Amino acid sequence: MHPAHSIIIFTVTSGLGFGLLAFLGLGQPAVTGWSAFWYFALGYALSVGGLVSSTFHLGNPQRAWRAFSQWQTSWLSREGVLAVATLTIMGIYAFCAVFLGQTLIVLGIIGAILALATVFATSMIYAQMKTVPRWNHWSTPALFMVLSIAGGALLTAHVLLAVILLAVAGLLQMASWTRGDTALAQSGSDIGTATGLGARGIVRAFEPPHTGNNYLLKEMVHKVGRKHAQKLRMLSFILMVLVPVLLLLIPGGWVIVTLAFLVHFVGTLTQRWLFFAEAEHVVGLYYGKR
Amino acid sequence: MTTLPQTTDKKLGLVIDLDTCVGCHACVVSCKGWNTENYGAPLSDQDAYGSDPTGTFLNRVHSFEVQPEEGPAQLIHFPKSCLHCEDAPCVTVCPTGASYKRQEDGIVLVNEDACIGCGLCAWACPYGAREMDAAAGVMKKCTLCVDRIYNENLPEEDRQPACVRTCPSGARHFGDLGDENSDVSKLVAERGGIDLMPEQGTKPVNKYLPPRPKDVEPEFDILAPYLEPVATDQKGFLGWLDKALEKI
């Protein structure tokens, strides 16, 4: 799949933002006044910034409001509805915490659940794709969720929890890569089933329908990243999990935690780039590109 | 609404004969022509006369080579467009309700006024049937020429999809695949029509007719008996030479 910058930035930053908002909703830390203001400002900057970034890849962003209507069937629509619900509930919660010095516990818990549900809906947009066997697995939402909560733990300096969650994310990531590498082969789809000619012999794409490029090839048959995939996997694992965990084991307070977060952020961007670049869409079978 | 209808009154679709398709791309051209001038946003081209031309098409013709276990390889031309699936994954993922499947005839369409161009439906389609138009920023797909098949301003023989109307080898057929007595349904039953990627669970309406087995030509060469191989047990000089060479 084509690794669109806007979508990579969106999924990473909104994941972190909603993770942070979930911690704030649960009163971890239970902040009021100015310190609450800065916490919520960061949470909203990340989550709203991500959502705004996601509209940049739309062909007609002026109609984006219509995306709230089809929550009954569409995970993308559910994500939009949940995001707005989270931001509204947490907005009231934040207002009371910042300006009135009040912590509305029940509202916070609802907001935290909605925040995590939003991240889940985001991950299901990808996990539901039967056409992309690498994504079509429970490990996709699991990894999105763990990374989001780990990000929240990092941003609220829950050091022990962050170390544990980052370790879990690392294990999930390894499992996801290992399974993903054989996912297409095990999906049962190949050039034989794609053309329906598989029973007759060995099928080979002889001549493509067009000599130039097209939307399908640009969007769904991206291959550039696979050349350096192994190196990038190492790099993303080191930055996303290994270095942050080692840093967090050093007792150093805020400076170390901030540094660990920044390294983790870059690592997660790399991981998310690979998430798209390595994903094989079955339409590539028609072009003999799998 | 992006909820799929439980059943549709008709299942309009195409039957494509892989045996008779000659790979001329006439259907591609007529499709592009009709759908650029009629329903919805035109099918745009980018850098059409430059070094890197691209464009939106609703129908494309691939060519595949099939090498059987025995005998020569076969070249099969393979037109591919929207299969108007009964369980269309492109419809349910649409966040705005722009994508829908019609209850009356099963045609899958896009309401371009509501399409935000997120591209998720193209991701959900295993067949590559949907292409985002780079100029209009909306998703384009085969409409089964919905503006021809019911169009009473056209002569009756033209009330079928442009690709079917133009096909010079009769490789494309249009009809109601939900009616088992229709010509297309009979054709599918007779020729063993198949679904593409059935494992994806999309239940496509369009069917493909596999190439028929090649005729085996009878041997009737009258000169054949006179061209039998020469006797193997050689005599005289050639016989001696044969034995001598074998001993070396």
- Which letter, b or e, does each residue of A103-142 get, where b requires 16 or more Cβ atoms within 10 Å of its Cβ? bbeebbbbbbbbbbbbbbbbbbbbbbbbbbbbbbbebbbb
Residue B229 domain flag = no
What average pLDDT values come out for chain A (290 residues) when binned by 10 residues? 91 96 93 92 94 88 91 94 96 94 92 97 97 96 97 94 97 96 94 94 94 90 74 94 94 89 96 93 90
**Does one domain contain both A134 and A121?**
no
Closest partner CB to A216 (pick from B64, B128, B196): B128
**Does one domain contain both A12 and A146?**
no
Residue B145 domain flag = yes
**Does one domain contain both A166 and A282?**
yes
* Count of A-B CB contacts under 8 Å: 194
**Which of A111, A128, A145 is at the close of a domain?**
A128
Phi-psi region of A48 (alpha: psi -120 to 50; beta: other; left: phi over 0): alpha
**Does one domain contain both A105 and A157?**
no
Q: Cα separation of B138 and B194, whole Å?
A: 31
The tens digit of pLDDT for each residue in B164-214 reads 999 999 999 999 999 999 999 999 999 999 999 999 999 999 999 999 987
DSSP B194: B
Confidence of residue B1 (pLDDT cuts 50, 70, 90): low
Residue B221 domain flag = no
Residue B5 near residue B178 (C-beta atoms within 8 A): no
- Chain B nearest-CA distance from A72, in A, is 8
* H or E element in which residue A137 lies: none
Confidence of residue B247 (pLDDT cuts 50, 70, 90): confident
Residue among A135, A210, A226, A274 nearest B124 (CA): A135
Q: What is the ipTM of this complex?
A: 0.92
**Does one domain contain both A124 and A136?**
no
Residue B72 domain flag = yes
Residue A234 near residue A265 (C-beta atoms within 8 A): no
Residue B84 domain flag = yes
Question: Which pLDDT does position B230 carry in this prediction?
Answer: 64
**Does one domain contain both A16 and A150?**
no
Q: Cα separation of A140 and A124, whole Å?
A: 8
Residue B229: both structure tokens together: 């191989």
Residue A264 near residue A4 (C-beta atoms within 8 A): no
Number of domains in chain B: 1
Q: How many CB atoms lie within 10 A of CB B131?
A: 22
The CATH number covering residue B94 comes to: 3.30.70.20
**Which of A84, A108, A128 is at the close of a domain?**
A128
- Chain B nearest-CA distance from A175, in A, is 24
The tens digit of pLDDT for each residue in A243-257 reads 999 999 988 788 999
Give the structural domain span for B98: 12-209
**Does one domain contain both A137 and A273?**
yes
Number of domains in chain A: 2
**Does one domain contain both A266 and A166?**
yes
**Does one domain contain both A102 and A149?**
no
Closest partner CB to B68 (pick from A59, A196, A200): A200
- Chain B nearest-CA distance from A184, in A, is 12
Of A175 and B3, which is predicted with more confidence? Answer: A175
**Does one domain contain both A146 and A253?**
yes
Model's pTM, two decimal places?
0.90
Residue of A nearest to B57 (CA): A214
The tens digit of pLDDT for each residue in A231-285 reads 999 999 999 999 999 999 988 788 999 999 999 999 999 999 999 999 999 999 9
**Which of A69, A93, A128 is at the close of a domain?**
A128
**Does one domain contain both A121 and A226?**
no
Residue B63 domain flag = yes
Residue % of chain B over a pLDDT of 70 = 96
Give the structural domain span for A18: 1-128
Looking at beta carbons, which residues of chain B come within 8 Å of A207? 62-63
The tens digit of pLDDT for each residue in B83-136 reads 999 999 999 999 999 999 999 999 999 999 999 999 999 999 999 999 999 999
**Does one domain contain both A141 and A223?**
yes
Residue B186 domain flag = yes
